[in-house]
């Protein structure tokens, strides 16, 4: 598949309709033995997080993985939100599907690793996001590299089949 260029919709734009021909997601889509989507250079602004979430949902719809949408939206929302709140740098989002495992990644240029709170106090306003990621994802982690870090998650639909 090719790529679709153009400016992203405003954060207030309605979500894409799931009609006969829904719009292609922004970013770069490739098919080379597996499916890969990359949305790069997302600005670290809170209003970009819902946009990223909608784009990830559009990718899953295109790949016919609609049953995974709710979980992936929560995971992408948390990791993109963390990039905005903590890294405060532009970030990229990648989804990869090999037919068995969906992998999501959020990469930013802040080298500090994520700091999950293992036991947040009941009155803490935050600190539960990575706990949610650990419960929702089949696997998750982070990788430091010379230009920052990548926080990733993996989901296997077969593990969640009813």
Per-residue model confidence as pLDDT tens digits over 132-161: 888 899 999 999 988 899 999 999 987 655
Given a cut of 70, is residue 12 above it in pLDDT?
Answer: no
3-state class (DSSP) for residue 80:
helix
Average of per-residue pLDDT across 25-29: 80
- State the Cα–Cα distance between residues 52 and 72, nearest whole angstrom: 11
What is residue 84's DSSP assignment? I
Given a cut of 50, is residue 9 above it in pLDDT?
Answer: no
Per-residue model confidence as pLDDT tens digits over 59-103: 999 999 999 999 999 999 999 999 998 889 999 999 999 999 999
- State the Cα–Cα distance between residues 52 and 139, nearest whole angstrom: 21
Exposure of 3 in the CB half-sphere (CA atoms within 13 A): 10
Q: 10 and 53 in contact (C-beta within 8 Å)?
A: no
Which is nearest to 71 in space by CA: 10, 162, 153? 153
Q: Considering the chain, what percentage of its residues have pLDDT values greater than 90?
A: 52
- State the Cα–Cα distance between residues 5 and 56, nearest whole angstrom: 16
| More confident of the two residues 1 and 81 | 81
Q: Using CB atoms within 10 A of its CB, is residue 124 exposed (0-12), middle (13-18) or buried (19+)?
A: exposed
């Amino acid at each position: 598949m090719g790529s679709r260029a153009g400016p992203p919709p405003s954060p207030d734009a309605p979500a894409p309709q799931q009609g006969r021909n829904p719009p292609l997601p922004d970013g770069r889509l490739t098919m080379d033995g597996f499916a890969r989507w990359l949305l790069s250079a997302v600005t670290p602004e809170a209003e970009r997080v819902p946009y990223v979430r909608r784009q990830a949902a559009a990718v899953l719809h295109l790949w016919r993985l609609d049953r995974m949408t709710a979980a992936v939206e929560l995971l992408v929302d948390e990791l993109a939100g963390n990039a905005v709140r903590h890294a405060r740098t532009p970030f990229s989002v990648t989804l990869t599907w090999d037919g068995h495992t969906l992998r999501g990644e959020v990469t930013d240029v802040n080298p500090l690793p994520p700091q999950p709170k293992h036991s947040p106090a009941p009155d803490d306003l935050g600190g539960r996001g990575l706990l949610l990621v650990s419960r929702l994802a089949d696997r998750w982690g982070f990788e430091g590299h010379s230009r920052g870090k990548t926080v990733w998650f993996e989901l296997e639909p077969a593990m969640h089949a009813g």
